[in-house]
């Protein structure tokens, strides 16, 4: 290899990273600050609600059961996602600090997607819990144990951390020489990797892989579990018995709907028609921000054990005062 070839080789493998990215956010929308303040209100509710669920499950030994270990992990993922997303949005847009350093951008991307993907698969664990409870009630306590659910949740956290770290690695292999403007409300994977001016086919593949793993696969597994549940319910002779068994699934079904339905709608609309950048940002930000706010409310309102415990706490506080 001569000197010219060596020089050409170094040019080809050099990777250009911008010092900063510029988060575009909503553009040309009057009073957009009020929308970000609304998202901040959802953040406050999400933090209070998820902290309440985490503390109740942690300190009440009667809730140290497989189902509530999964609920604890879901609340932890909700708490993590909302903290990774919304405070950074407030700093970016309300305080007009739309520049973010390259490393901070990758960290923001990692944590938002890490916690969001953990939410998706934790709902699969809860679906598994309901499937065994209804389809194999006599064997439930031998199949679904605290150890089994803890191992499943730990595997989800570890696998998601690995895959998100791999995603960040391939982002770091891109030369960002097209632009440093991210057309989103945070360091979103798609808008960032499209800024690369070298081959981004592996990033495109990872984007599709993540969609398949964390949107299509969880939904398919949840749908299969409920197919088994409905078949088991059809064998129950009394309507009262069916409704009683189905009632235990209401909270989970609401959680699945609040998380997956907005994302599916965004994908379907974006694939069939043109979505303006502002419409995409508003719909995506709501899809990310509302489930962490709704999940603790759904579980508190639909779980008798948690409602009873909260009543006891309020009653004791009133008596002591």
Average pLDDT of 55-66? 87
Pick the range with the lowest mean pLDDT from 120-129, 183-192, 277-286, 307-316. 307-316
CA separation for the pair 47, 54 (Å, rounded): 10
pLDDT (tens digit per residue) in 15-51: 888 899 999 888 877 878 888 889 999 999 999 999 9
Q: Answer whether residue 119 shows pLDDT above 90.
A: yes
Q: Answer whether residue 316 shows pLDDT above 80.
A: no
Q: Answer whether residue 3 shows pLDDT above 50.
A: no
CA separation for the pair 129, 283 (Å, rounded): 31
Contact 59, 306 (CB under 8 A): no
Pick the range with the lowest mean pLDDT from 55-59, 98-102, 270-274. 270-274
Average pLDDT of 104-132? 95
Q: Answer whether residue 77 shows pLDDT above 70.
A: yes
| Residue listed under structure tokens 């997607």 | 113
Q: Answer whether residue 93 shows pLDDT above 60.
A: yes
- Output the pLDDT for position 78: 95
Phi, psi of 240 (to 5 degrees): -60, -40
Contact 16, 175 (CB under 8 A): yes
Mean pLDDT, the chain, as a whole number?
A: 86
Q: Answer whether residue 2 shows pLDDT above 70.
A: no
More confident residue, 243 or 223: 223
Q: Answer whether residue 4 shows pLDDT above 60.
A: no
In the structure, what pLDDT confidence band is assigned to residue 319 with cuts at 50, 70 and 90? low
Q: Answer whether residue 9 shows pLDDT above 60.
A: no
Q: Domains, the chain, ranges and CATH?
A: 20-320 (1.20.1070.10)
In the structure, what pLDDT confidence band is assigned to residue 12 with cuts at 50, 70 and 90? very low
Q: Answer whether residue 8 shows pLDDT above 90.
A: no
- Output the pLDDT for position 267: 80
pLDDT (tens digit per residue) in 172-186: 999 887 788 998 889
pLDDT (tens digit per residue) in 207-222: 999 989 998 999 999 9
Phi, psi of 175 (to 5 degrees): -90, 120
Pick the range with the lowest mean pLDDT from 163-167, 244-248, 254-258, 301-305. 301-305
Q: Measured in Å, how far apart are the chain's first and last C-alpha atoms?
A: 84
Show the beta-strand stretches assigned E in the chain: 20-23, 99-101, 181-182
pLDDT (tens digit per residue) in 282-314: 888 889 999 999 988 887 766 666 767 767 766
Average pLDDT of 256-279? 84
Q: Answer whether residue 191 shows pLDDT above 70.
A: yes
Percent pLDDT > 70 in the chain is: 90
- Output the pLDDT for position 219: 93
β-bridge partners, 267 = none
CA separation for the pair 264, 274 (Å, rounded): 16
- Output the pLDDT for position 262: 86
pLDDT (tens digit per residue) in 194-207: 998 888 899 999 99
């Amino acid at each position: 290899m001569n000197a010219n070839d060596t020089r050409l080789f170094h040019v080809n493998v050099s990777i250009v990273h911008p010092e900063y990215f510029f988060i575009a956010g909503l553009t040309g929308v009057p009073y957009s600050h009020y929308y970000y303040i609304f998202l901040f209100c959802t953040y406050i509710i999400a933090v209070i609600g998820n902290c309440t669920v985490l503390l109740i499950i942690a300190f009440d030994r009667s809730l140290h059961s497989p189902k509530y270990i999964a609920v604890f992990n879901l609340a932890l993922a909700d708490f993590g996602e909302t903290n990774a997303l919304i405070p950074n949005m407030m700093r970016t847009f309300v305080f007009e600090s739309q520049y973010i350093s390259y490393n901070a951008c990758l960290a923001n991307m990692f944590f938002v997607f890490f916690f969001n993907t953990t939410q998706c698969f934790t709902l699969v664990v809860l679906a598994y819990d309901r499937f065994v409870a209804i389809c194999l009630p006599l064997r439930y306590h031998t199949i679904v144990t605290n150890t089994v659910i803890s191992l499943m949740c730990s595997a989800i956290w570890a696998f998601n951390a690995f895959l998100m770290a791999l995603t960040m690695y391939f982002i770091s292999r891109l030369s960002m020489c097209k632009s440093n403007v991210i057309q989103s409300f945070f360091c979103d994977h798609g808008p960032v990797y499209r800024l690369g001016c070298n081959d981004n086919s592996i990033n495109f593949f990872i984007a599709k892989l993540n969609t398949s793993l964390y949107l299509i696969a969880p939904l398919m597994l949840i749908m299969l579990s409920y197919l088994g549940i409905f078949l088991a319910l059809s064998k129950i002779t009394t309507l009262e018995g069916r409704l009683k068994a189905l009632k235990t699934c209401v909270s989970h079904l609401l959680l699945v709907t609040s998380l997956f339905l907005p994302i599916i709608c965004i994908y379907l609309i974006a694939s069939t028609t043109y979505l303006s950048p502002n419409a995409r940002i508003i719909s995506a930000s709501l899809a990310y921000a509302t489930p962490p706010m709704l999940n603790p409310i759904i579980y508190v309102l639909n779980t008798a054990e948690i409602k009873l415990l909260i009543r006891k706490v309020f009653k004791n506080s009133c008596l002591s005062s």
